[in-house]
Amino acid sequence: MNNHSRYLLLGRHRLGLKWLAQKSVNQKFRLISSSTKKLNTVVQETPIFDADKLAAARQARLDGLGVIGKLPEKWIPYAELMRLEKPIGSWLLYSPCTWSITMAAYSTTAPLSSTLWMLGVFGVGALIMRGAGCTINDLLDRDLDNKVERTIERPLASRRVTPKQAITFLGAQLAVGLGVLLQLPADCFLLGAVSLVPVAVYPLFKRITYYPQVVLSSCFTWGALLGFPAMGVWNWSSMIPLYLSSFAWCMTYDTIYAHQDKKFDVKAGIKSTALAWGDKSKPIMYGLTTIQMATFALSGYMNSMGPGFALGAIIGGYRVFQMVRKVDLDNPKDCWYHFRNNINNGHIFFAGIFLDYILRLLGYI
């Protein structure tokens, strides 16, 4: 064998060894890659909550359905999307509406029938639009709700409703909401429609800022502005302070609400004022409540309200301050109790305004 043949064989041998080495590396890489994928799959499939917690969450949901549980089985998840089993949110949305409608009715001595009609229109609107807001929230948060024990059983998070079904249902809710909005005078239609923007974007803010409560409060208290023009009154000197009062009130009670989930929110990456303020939450909420009552009083003064308004403000304001003082922000059950009980404060403010309105209709003031 000549030298040329030897070099040729040696080259082929080296190429063969190189090919075998490369093949071995590729096989090892595929093996590692496959193992990594399997590991990731295991991690992703590892449940956040054990079977006992999931069973407890499901039972808590069933126990909380109340009369909603008597609906046909297929309807129940959609009723839950609207939070019909938890009407507290609808009441909190409705309260500023009742204040502004009745204050406007008081200032014009509007007939009782027209005032009750508008209160009814806004009541339906509050129920429908709060439900639509919850549906939007659940659509955007379905991959976050399944990481929080309190929300794991929501219809979308538990996959009892598909995103497509929820979007169709949302369309129906918005259609009814539009019908309600069309009952209002034409000159306040646009003011009402503007509130839909913060309603739609609120869930997104929980991901990018620790102050989603600002967005929620801006739209959740819109009725404080809308009630006046709905009754044919554009009294900005009273409307603006009433809106600011409602805004401060919402910031307070929704921060208490957020403290329920702060342990899970940290893990899920959800932001809130409860996490931003931490141990400073109570001093800040005292400040917000002071602003709330100062602007509420200013609104009443600018609308020439009477003794009923003053009495309701004193009792309601005292109760809000007591709520802030008593709530244990590290106890989720106590946070929920005070949040839920807070709606009675809204009723007291309304009762004082309504008393003035009735006294004016009767000719006493």
- CATH number reported for the structural domain that contains residue 312 in this entry: 1.10.357.140
Q: Evaluate whether residue 308 is within a structural domain.
A: yes
Low-confidence ranges of the chain (pLDDT < 70): 1-50
**Tokens of residue 319, six digits:** 């109760």
Q: How far is CA 227 from the centre of its chain?
A: 22
- Taking the C-alpha atoms of residue 107 and residue 116, their distance in angstroms, rounded to an integer, is 15
> Does residue 3 lie in a domain region?
no
Query: What domain range is 285 assigned to?
Result: 69-362
CA distance 119 to 227: 9
Q: Whose structure tokens read 């996959």?
A: 159
Assigned token pair, 45? 């499939």
Give the total number of structural domains in the chain.
Answer: 1
Task: Say what the pLDDT of residue 145 is.
Answer: 80
Would you say 320 and 252 are in contact if contact means Cβ atoms under 8 Å apart?
A: yes
In a domain, 41, yes or no: no
Of 350, 351, 283, 288, nearest in space to 320 by CA: 288
Please say whether the beta carbons of 313 and 321 come within 8 A. Answer: no
Q: Is 7 inside any structural domain?
A: no
Residues 6+ apart with CB under 8 A from 331: none
Task: Report yes or no on 46 lying in a domain.
Answer: no
pLDDT of residue 24: 47
Give residue 189's pLDDT: 80
Give the three-class secondary structure for 147: coil
What is the number of other CB atoms lying within 10 angstroms of the CB of residue 356?
26
**CA–CA separation, 262 and 307 (whole Å):** 41
Residue 24 maps to a domain: no
The residue written with tokens 């009750």 in the block is: 116
204 in any annotated domain:
yes
Residue 108, domain member (yes or no): yes
